[in-house]
A and B are shown apart, each in its own frame.
Chain A
């Protein structure tokens, strides 16, 4: 059994495991990943690193494709 740990999504704690992608975590936190050029909320779409809709800031690094990154303890994720 994989152990649960906490990450923060836009400052709010979320309990996840290491086999959860950051994109999945953001969906479960009900937070959009980014705002479009027109200001609309965008969330994961293609799920496989192609569409770029799930870009968010992970541990201070901007424009991470969150569907390609897995959660790790104390990770800080922020909507772009």
Chain B
């Protein structure tokens, strides 16, 4: 099966929704595709017309989802892009069904995932990502009465802890690995009174019934067949929380598989785009976390810019670039602020798994000199997740370059990979 569109938007989070909406409102034939069951991405996961009101960001969600619904944009949910057949055709799969989509212009808004780091016990059931636990709770997981430690780094920690507390969980502790002084410096760049900002964060922690402590990190999780306790350190002493869940994540990294596959230039971990969101590849724009982890506002604005550019309305796109500049600067500051401390490299024991899929331990990687060697000799990153989890960890732990993607960019049926293409002639607009 195949179809053609003026614009394909890959990723139906805020950036993709904004881009698709603007392009469709301009009269273009637009396809918005996402592998999730519903549009919204991670930040708007589980939102609906009735349930959205109880979440923050619900106003933006309601506004954009209503705008999108009023357009003729085709929303393809549950579809996974797995390969590119030629310069302007994507191959998608859903439940064994194959579709080849030709595009005139492509907007990538594939968002970000959490960066995970290995530590003893991180594979135990009950240890999850910070955004991971939030996503599960938004997907119906009952949190009432659960005792939870939230740890790692990034602005997600407080937001997720607040969400969990709201859902009835008992927050046992919130542990940010960044030192207080660096967070203060970050606050300084945001507000006239950074100490108020930090007080606010600490106060917010207290109102959640748990301290928000900086300069602390997880050293290990324990349990026999499931998670039972977590040990935390501030670098001097250690203490342990016995609880139900550990949510641990280390800020976010962009989902670069599609940009890599399509040949977009990547530098310093993000897709290189100009002020109008255009990538190094002609007719491919990128928006949102792909260009720098900046959150909802940046994703929406960059999506709008990409949408206007697809509609050949540079005048409208240019009106937004100053605000985009400011948010990109903010993204860079966040990246520096939440940089990982060196101690996190020393958490793994020889038997601690780095690659969860293939069961490759830290000790087995010591003799490898590169990501390629780790793949060939130890099968690290060769399992079902294709290195999506251990790749970012290996970059940090061993200093390896793990960039580069080979099709299929997601596990797919052999019949999908081998399917004949019946792509129609290019469309002209």
Query: Interface of A with B (CB < 8 Å)?
Result: 16-17, 19-21, 23-25, 27-28, 32, 36-38, 40-53, 55, 61, 63, 67-71
Cβ A46 vs Cβ B113 within 8 A: yes
Cβ A28 vs Cβ B359 within 8 A: no
Residues in A with CB closer than 8 Å to B388 are 50-51
Cβ B139 vs Cβ A23 within 8 A: yes
Query: Interface of B with A (CB < 8 Å)?
Result: 35-37, 42, 45-46, 51, 78, 95, 113-114, 116, 123, 125-129, 131-137, 139-142, 225-226, 255, 356-359, 383-385, 388-389, 411
Cβ A17 vs Cβ B140 within 8 A: yes
List 11 extra interface pairs beyond A51-B356, A68-B37, A70-B139, CB under 8 A. Answer: A20-B140, A27-B136, A32-B125, A37-B358, A41-B225, A41-B226, A43-B125, A43-B226, A47-B131, A47-B134, A71-B140
Q: How far is the CA of A66 from the CA of B388 in the complex (A)?
A: 17
**Highest count of chain B CB atoms <10 Å: which of A20, A37, A46, A69:** A46
Which 5 pairs across A and B sit closest by C-beta, in order of nearness?
Answer: A20-B140, A43-B125, A47-B135, A47-B132, A21-B139
A14 vs chain B, min Cβ distance (A): 12
Residues in B with CB closer than 8 Å to A48 are 36, 42, 45, 113, 131-132, 135
**Highest count of chain A CB atoms <10 Å: which of B125, B139, B225:** B139
**Highest count of chain B CB atoms <10 Å: which of A16, A24, A41, A50:** A50
Cβ A19 vs Cβ B140 within 8 A: yes
Q: How far is the CA of A17 from the CA of B359 in the complex (A)?
A: 35
Q: How far is the CA of A15 from the CA of B383 in the complex (A)?
A: 33
Name the residue on B nearest A37 (C-beta): B359
Residues in A with CB closer than 8 Å to B46 are 19
Q: How far is the CA of A21 from the CA of B388 in the complex (A)?
A: 22
Given the known A-B contacts A24-B140, A41-B225, are A52 and B357 also in contact in the complex, defined by CB atoms under 8 Å?
yes
Cβ B356 vs Cβ A53 within 8 A: yes
Residues in A with CB closer than 8 Å to B137 are 24
B385 vs chain A, min Cβ distance (A): 5
